[in-house]
Amino acid sequence: MTQPAPPDPILKQLIKEAVKEALLEQREWLQEVIAEVLEEMALDEALREIEAIEHGPQPRVFGIFEGEA
C-alpha cells in the first residue's frame, strides 16, 4: 500500500486563506450557524436529562406512596 503524497504547502496556504476570507466576509452567517448549533446541543442535552429523570429509578418514598413497603 502506497502512502499518499504530502499536501502541497502552497496549495494548503491558499486554501487556508480562501476559507479565512470567506468566513470573515460571512461573519454574521457564521455566528447564526454557531448559535443554532449551540441551541440544538442544549435542547438535546435537556431532552436527555428529562428522559433520564423519567426513566430513572424512583426514590423509595415514591414506592411507599404507591403501596409498596
pLDDT of residue 55: 80
What DSSP string describes the chain? -PPPPPPPHHHHHHHHHHHHHHHHHTHHHHHHHHHHHHHHHHHHHHHHHHHHHHHSPPPHHHHHHTT--
pLDDT digits (tens, 9 = 90+) for 13-44: 999 999 999 889 999 988 999 999 999 999 99
What are the pLDDT digits (tens) for 56-65? Answer: 766 666 555 5
SS3 of the chain: helix, strand, coil, percent, to 5: 75, 0, 25
